[in-house]
Amino acid sequence: AIYRGRCHQTCDRCGLYYRCSTSFPYAHPLSVHLQVPLIARAVGDRGLVSQLLGPKFGAFLVCGSLGGKSIPGLAPLVSIKQVYKLEYVNANTKVFGVISNPVGHSKGPVLHNPAFRHTGYNGIYVPMLVDDIKEFFRVYSCTDFAGFSVGIPHKEAAIGCCDEVHPLAKSIGAVNTIVRRPTDGKLVGYNTDCEACITAIEDALRERRIANGEASHTSPLYGKVFVLVGAGGAGRAMAFGAKSRGAQVVIFNRNYERAKALAQAVSGKALPYECLDKFCPENGMILANASAVGMQPNINQTPVSKEALGAYELVFDAVYTPRNTRLLQEAAEAGAIVVSGVEMFIRQALGQFKLFTDGLAPGDFMRQIVLEQF
């Protein structure tokens, strides 16, 4: 039987979350009294999670699309078999996911699912297209939903959804990881973006220093002008990280008020977005793009003109889809050290995996997947 219900309630038996109109109350009694097995599946992009979690909640059948093509609400058969491996999902499987909007670009599933299996952890990691994060956590209160990556645009609002927030995440004002504590079910928020991007930049600078025979114990960011584009969740993490290393943080953001508020929080400086290309107080600065400019599908966009890139020793781009953004290509042509958002992605994912599983992340394995597949 195929029932195309459109509701906004949760089934406490199957854990599925139905959004839209009101037919769920009719579907639920139907499933209770039905003499034959019934698979309920939400459709569209928001319904994908119901398809992928079917086996956890007792479904004996899962559908996938053919030809590697993703259809809204239906994952390609090839990823059901190779990424999610739904044949291993059972009632004890812990559910993790990325809460974001949009969510289709996230590489989390292709990284975390194989890492779960590599370490023998019974978990699944799914994309969760979420509009309203508060409503999401109200509905997904079941302890089986054990942990979440938080993406665009929810990182700041996620703080208000947590019962406890790690001090670093609290000072940053953004959470990118939420773990449901097994002992009491409380939601605890963390930020793994901050150390991920700052250590990626530091390691690249140190490599250059060592090659030049200039090794030092202090952070290579100490005293540097750190030009930050973007003041959203990722931008806040970078601003606090750069400040913690003694850099002078200068922030440019499309929304100037947001830049000013962040600059004040890190004792930095905010300048109007239009001045970014002309900003050149010295050579050898660090540029970090934490805005969504250049992200798929807008891959021809770049936040800084090629001509202005000569002033930077290192250019980092948080955008990781595509891996080699226009900004990074032009920065390399201008002679800068370039650090891809993929490096940050690997490091923040390792941090998340440790928090999710309360154990060590398989670093080499996860790095290999990212470098092979992204």
Q: Which residues bind ligand NAP (CB under 6 A)?
A: 152-153, 155, 193, 230-235, 253-255, 258, 290-293, 295, 318-320, 341, 344-345, 348
Give me the helices (H) in the chain, please.
24-33, 48-52, 77-79, 108-119, 133-139, 167-172, 193-211, 233-244, 256-265, 326-333, 341-357, 363-373
Measured from the CB atom, is 96 or 320 closer to ligand NAP? 320
Q: Could you tell me the CA-to-CA distances from 274 to 94, 247, 252, 258, 271 in Å, in that order?
A: 47, 23, 8, 15, 8
Measured from the CB atom, is 39 or 238 closer to ligand NAP? 238
Q: Which residue is nearest to ligand NAP (CB)?
A: 232
Taking the complex as a whole, the smallest distance from the CB of residue 20 to ligand NAP amounts, in Å, to 25
Q: Which residue has the tokens 């993703």?
A: 70
At 320, is the secondary structure helix, strand, or coil? coil
Sign, Cα dihedral of 19, 20, 26, 30: negative
Q: Which of 155, 243, 278, 306 is catalytic?
A: 155
Measured from the CB atom, is 41 or 243 closer to ligand NAP? 243
DSSP letter at 70 equals -
Antiparallel, parallel or unpaired: β 177-180 and 145-150: antiparallel
Taking the complex as a whole, the smallest distance from the CB of residue 154 to ligand NAP amounts, in Å, to 8
Taking the complex as a whole, the smallest distance from the CB of residue 271 to ligand NAP amounts, in Å, to 14
Measured from the CB atom, is 193 or 202 closer to ligand NAP? 193
| CA gap 169, 156 in Å, rounded | 10
Taking the complex as a whole, the smallest distance from the CB of residue 157 to ligand NAP amounts, in Å, to 10
Taking the complex as a whole, the smallest distance from the CB of residue 223 to ligand NAP amounts, in Å, to 26
Q: Which residue has the tokens 């930077």?
A: 312
155 belongs to the catalytic site: yes
DSSP 128-194: EE-S-HHHHHHH--STTEEEEEE-TT-TTGGGGG-SEE-HHHHHHT--SEEEE-TTT--EEEE--HH
DSSP letter at 105 equals T
| 254 in Cβ contact with 228 (< 8 Å) | no
Measured from the CB atom, is 220 or 232 closer to ligand NAP? 232
Active site residues: 155
